Amino acid sequence: MAPRRRPPLALLALAVLLLLPGGLLVANPAFIRMTRLEEADEPVARFPHWTHQEGFKCYACHPSLFSMTRKTGFTHEDMGEGRFCGACHDGQTAFHHDQDEDHECEECHVE
Protein backbone atom coordinates (compact mmCIF):
# COMPACT_ATOMS: atom_id res chain seq x y z
CA MET A 1 0.00 0.00 0.00
CA ALA A 2 1.36 3.45 -0.94
CA PRO A 3 1.83 5.88 1.98
CA ARG A 4 -0.77 8.69 2.12
CA ARG A 5 0.50 11.92 0.66
CA ARG A 6 0.74 14.82 3.08
CA PRO A 7 -1.48 17.84 2.33
CA PRO A 8 0.42 20.88 1.00
CA LEU A 9 1.63 23.32 3.67
CA ALA A 10 -0.48 26.18 2.27
CA LEU A 11 -3.61 24.12 2.81
CA LEU A 12 -2.67 23.44 6.43
CA ALA A 13 -1.96 27.13 7.04
CA LEU A 14 -5.36 28.02 5.60
CA ALA A 15 -7.08 25.49 7.86
CA VAL A 16 -5.38 27.00 10.93
CA LEU A 17 -6.44 30.51 9.87
CA LEU A 18 -10.04 29.45 9.41
CA LEU A 19 -10.12 27.87 12.86
CA LEU A 20 -9.03 31.08 14.61
CA PRO A 21 -11.92 33.17 15.95
CA GLY A 22 -12.79 35.96 13.51
CA GLY A 23 -11.84 38.69 15.97
CA LEU A 24 -8.17 37.71 15.83
CA LEU A 25 -7.93 37.99 12.08
CA VAL A 26 -9.02 41.60 11.77
CA ALA A 27 -8.45 44.89 13.57
CA ASN A 28 -11.08 45.49 16.22
CA PRO A 29 -10.76 49.12 17.36
CA ALA A 30 -12.21 50.27 20.72
CA PHE A 31 -13.70 53.43 19.20
CA ILE A 32 -14.62 54.18 15.61
CA ARG A 33 -15.13 57.63 14.14
CA MET A 34 -18.19 57.43 11.90
CA THR A 35 -18.57 59.02 8.45
CA ARG A 36 -20.21 62.41 7.94
CA LEU A 37 -22.39 62.96 4.87
CA GLU A 38 -23.95 66.35 5.65
CA GLU A 39 -22.01 69.36 6.85
CA ALA A 40 -22.74 70.28 10.50
CA ASP A 41 -21.17 71.85 13.62
CA GLU A 42 -21.37 68.77 15.87
CA PRO A 43 -18.21 66.68 16.03
CA VAL A 44 -18.56 63.56 13.89
CA ALA A 45 -20.15 60.72 15.90
CA ARG A 46 -17.78 58.38 17.73
CA PHE A 47 -18.89 54.79 18.17
CA PRO A 48 -17.77 52.82 21.28
CA HIS A 49 -17.16 49.47 19.56
CA TRP A 50 -15.93 47.46 22.55
CA THR A 51 -18.69 48.37 25.02
CA HIS A 52 -21.22 47.25 22.38
CA GLN A 53 -19.45 43.90 22.14
CA GLU A 54 -20.20 43.26 25.83
CA GLY A 55 -23.89 43.04 25.07
CA PHE A 56 -23.94 41.85 21.45
CA LYS A 57 -22.31 39.23 19.27
CA CYS A 58 -20.52 40.49 16.15
CA TYR A 59 -23.34 39.24 13.94
CA ALA A 60 -25.89 41.46 15.68
CA CYS A 61 -24.33 44.23 13.58
CA HIS A 62 -22.10 42.60 10.93
CA PRO A 63 -22.83 42.41 8.09
CA SER A 64 -26.56 43.24 8.33
CA LEU A 65 -26.21 46.79 9.77
CA PHE A 66 -22.56 47.68 9.13
CA SER A 67 -19.76 46.44 6.89
CA MET A 68 -16.46 45.44 8.52
CA THR A 69 -14.44 46.35 5.47
CA ARG A 70 -15.88 49.62 4.28
CA LYS A 71 -17.14 52.85 5.87
CA THR A 72 -20.91 53.33 5.85
CA GLY A 73 -22.19 56.90 5.60
CA PHE A 74 -25.69 57.68 6.91
CA THR A 75 -27.70 60.44 8.56
CA HIS A 76 -30.25 60.91 11.38
CA GLU A 77 -32.96 60.57 8.76
CA ASP A 78 -31.72 57.02 7.98
CA MET A 79 -31.56 56.21 11.70
CA GLY A 80 -35.12 57.52 12.09
CA GLU A 81 -36.17 54.79 9.66
CA GLY A 82 -34.69 52.18 12.01
CA ARG A 83 -31.47 51.67 10.06
CA PHE A 84 -27.82 51.60 11.24
CA CYS A 85 -27.54 52.88 14.87
CA GLY A 86 -31.30 53.49 14.69
CA ALA A 87 -31.93 49.74 14.58
CA CYS A 88 -31.29 49.82 18.36
CA HIS A 89 -31.18 53.48 19.36
CA ASP A 90 -34.93 53.81 18.91
CA GLY A 91 -35.93 54.46 22.53
CA GLN A 92 -36.64 50.77 23.14
CA THR A 93 -33.56 48.56 22.79
CA ALA A 94 -31.36 51.58 23.60
CA PHE A 95 -31.84 55.32 24.18
CA HIS A 96 -33.24 57.22 21.22
CA HIS A 97 -30.69 58.90 18.93
CA ASP A 98 -32.70 62.12 18.75
CA GLN A 99 -35.22 62.73 21.47
CA ASP A 100 -34.22 61.29 24.81
CA GLU A 101 -34.24 63.54 27.90
CA ASP A 102 -31.69 61.43 29.79
CA HIS A 103 -29.13 61.24 26.99
CA GLU A 104 -27.23 64.09 25.41
CA CYS A 105 -26.13 64.57 21.82
CA GLU A 106 -22.57 64.60 23.23
CA GLU A 107 -22.73 60.90 24.10
CA CYS A 108 -22.25 60.20 20.41
CA HIS A 109 -20.97 63.56 19.13
CA VAL A 110 -17.83 63.70 21.23
CA GLU A 111 -14.53 65.30 20.11
Chain residues that interact with ligand HEC, rule: CB under 6 A: 22-23, 26-29, 32, 34-36, 38, 40, 42, 44-45, 47-49, 51-53, 55-56, 58, 60-62, 65-66, 68, 71-72, 74-76, 84-85, 87-89, 93-95, 97-98, 103, 105, 107-109
Q: Where is 37: in which H helix or E strand?
A: none
Q: Please say which residue, 14 or 75, places its beta carbon nearer to ligand HEC.
A: 75
CA distance 95 to 33: 20
Q: Please say which residue, 12 or 33, places its beta carbon nearer to ligand HEC.
A: 33
CA distance 71 to 10: 32
Closest of 98, 1, 94 to residue 42, by C-alpha = 98
Q: Please say which residue, 14 or 31, places its beta carbon nearer to ligand HEC.
A: 31
